[in-house]
Amino acid sequence: MLGTFAADHPVLFALGLTIACFVGLLYVSGIAYTKLRQPYGDVAVTVMRLAMAAGLLILVWRLDWLEGSGIARLGSWQVWLLAIGGLLYFTSAALYAFYGKITFDITSFAQLPAARAVVYKQLIAVIYEEILFRGVILYVLVSAWGHTQLGIIGSVFLTAVLFALPHFVGIFLGLSRRATLMLVLETCIIAVWWGALVVWGGSIWPAVLLHLIPNIVVEVQGLSTPMVTPDTLAYRRILWFSIPLGIPGIGLLVHAWR
């Protein structure tokens, strides 16, 4: 029944699933940060993400979407080669955007206990988000709209928008309005790149890698290095650095259609 609804009403399905997951996380976050003290608040949210990821995996398994969604595929060596190249570029760009330098002390993982906590938290968060957006939602949209140029590009762009919009919550986490807007725009652009790789390569795992490593590196660097000020400078930089990936992402979408 749910599979039929997704096929007949793909946009409503995508919107409903996104809103349900976002509201669920907000609810747990509110309880965690009002009733629990750090680090237990982060633990509660991470456990919730893990539970939601497991629920999504059960859903795609029951609907026989594991292969089609790219969750049960690794992808070709070509897509991994592109992903690694993009990873090296964007990780360096993110370090420069937020900290003014591209060097990263890898010994932080051994020296800072908080760094290991970052890895666990980001790993679960990224896997949950990629299963939701580049796995379930992108698969439903492409399946419903067809493997046409308009269908593929529209699916990837709508998925990117749905992924980016929840980042407006940054304004409630201390970011300025301009920085938050630039974060949302940057997230949308980079999500087009991730989505293009998933459609072209048939696997969500290159997107998981591209999402995970820069997140970990930037957050771990922040444990020992102050971010550049003002915050708009950092987010303006990362917005501009994302464009060289968004453009080839569109090229990959056109290639995937052909």
**Mean pLDDT along residues 55-76:** 93
As a whole number, mean pLDDT of residues 55-68 equals: 94
Tokens 């747990």 map to which residue? 28
Average pLDDT over residues 176-193: 96
CA dist 231 and 175 (Å) reads: 7
Predicted confidence band at 7 (pLDDT cuts at 50, 70, 90)? confident
What size, in residues, is the chain? 258
* Whole-prediction pTM: 0.93
The per-residue pLDDT of the chain, averaged, comes to 90
| Beta-carbon count within 10 A of 168 CB | 14
CB 245 within 8 A of CB 193: yes
pLDDT of 106 strictly over 80: yes
